[in-house]
Amino acid sequence: MPTPLISASILSANFAHLEADLRQAEQAGVDWIHVDVMDGHFVPNISMGPMIVETCRAITTLPLDVHLMIDNPDDFLDAFAAAGANRISVHIEGNPNIHRTLQKIRSLNCLPGIVLNPGTPACTLQEVIGMVDLVLVMTVNPGYGGQAFLPDTLGKISEIQRMSQKSQASPWSQVDGGITPRTLPLTYSAGARVFVAGNAIFNHDDGITAAVRALKVSIG
């Protein structure tokens, strides 16, 4: 079993001092920086693009874990890779050529990830699970930070764990949405090993360092 990792979602960071927030998260020991890209079509919100990835790249050497919630992701892969993304994850929903998309991400020297919305069953992964470095199970409906964790997604995390073992693929199992010191252990028990957290890190009453510590302690 791989060591658990924390990927800090900057969607909840304060962009008036993004650099300070990022540095504090890094010092607190987060492992990856998660960049949520939203286009107002695939999800009902607009967030950030390659320019912010480039900004993060200039601030940190941590792996940049880019989560694309956009229509036609193929059109933007070159730009995100050039901006400094290390990992690029794309949704399986609404992408008839997902196999090609994943191939293209790898050809750009980025590690491909596949993302499943809460309404998408694990079986849709069957043909591509061997191609990816990461399977991201959304534990909220994508579009906004700070939403409540959906416990119904836990069964899918375990199911994907079994699928990975069966297919002898060993992608990282990542969860994203509503991850807190209370919900993280539930997903860990189900098999998740990379925990995306935005609100729980950047909006914690006691600050970023205490927030990251609380998440780490919850892993045990």
Q: Using CA of residue 191, residue 67, residue 17, residue 146, what is the dihedral sign?
A: negative
CA pair distance 137, 125, nearest whole angstrom: 11
Residue 65 sits in the site that holds Zn ion (CB under 5 A): no
Interhelix angle 18-28/50-59, nearest 10 degrees = 60
- How far, in Å, CA of 88 to CA of 74, rounded? 11
Residue type, 165: Q
Residue 45's beta-bridge partner residues? none
Using the rule CB under 6 A, is 11 a contact of ligand DX5?
Answer: yes
Q: Is 118 in the site for ligand DX5 (CB under 6 A)?
A: no
199 binds ligand DX5 (CB under 6 A): yes
Distance separating alpha carbons of residues 158 and 164, to the nearest angstrom: 10
Asked about 176 being catalytic, the answer comes back as yes
Strand 87-91 versus strand 64-69 pairing type: parallel
Residue 63 contact among Zn ion, ligand DX5, none, beta carbon within 5 to 8 Å by kind: none
* Residue 36 interacting with Zn ion (CB under 5 A): yes
Three-class SS state of 171: coil
Active-site residue among 21, 36, 65, 133?
36
**Residue whose C-alpha is closest to residue 152's, from 126, 173, 178:** 178
Which positions from 147 through 206 interact with Zn ion, judged by CB under 5 A?
176
**Binding residue count for ligand DX5, defined by CB under 6 A:** 20
Please tell me whether residue 144 adopts helix, strand or coil conformation: coil
Which window, 66-74, 118-126, 154-162, 164-172, contacts Zn ion (CB under 5 A)? 66-74
- The entry of ligand DX5, Zn ion, none that residue 11 binds, CB within 5 to 8 Å by partner kind: ligand DX5
52: left (phi over 0), alpha (psi -120 to 50) or beta: alpha
> Considering the complex, what minimum distance in angstroms separates the CB of residue 38 from ligand DX5?
7
Choose the contact partner of 199 out of Zn ion, ligand DX5, none; CB within 5 to 8 A by kind: ligand DX5
Tokens of 146: 């700070």
**Is 117 a binder of ligand DX5 (CB under 6 A)?**
no
Contact between 25 and 201 under an 8 Å Cβ cutoff? The reply is: yes
- Of 36 and 133, which has the nearer Cβ to Zn ion? 36
> Contacting Zn ion (CB under 5 A), which of 7, 53, 67, 140?
67
Query: Binding marks (x or -) toward ligand DX5, 143..182, rule CB under 6 A?
Result: x-xxx----------------------------xxxx---
Which residues would be at the binding site for Zn ion (CB under 5 A)? 36, 67, 176
Residues that bind ligand DX5 (CB under 6 A): 9, 11-12, 34, 36, 67, 142-143, 145-147, 176-179, 196-200
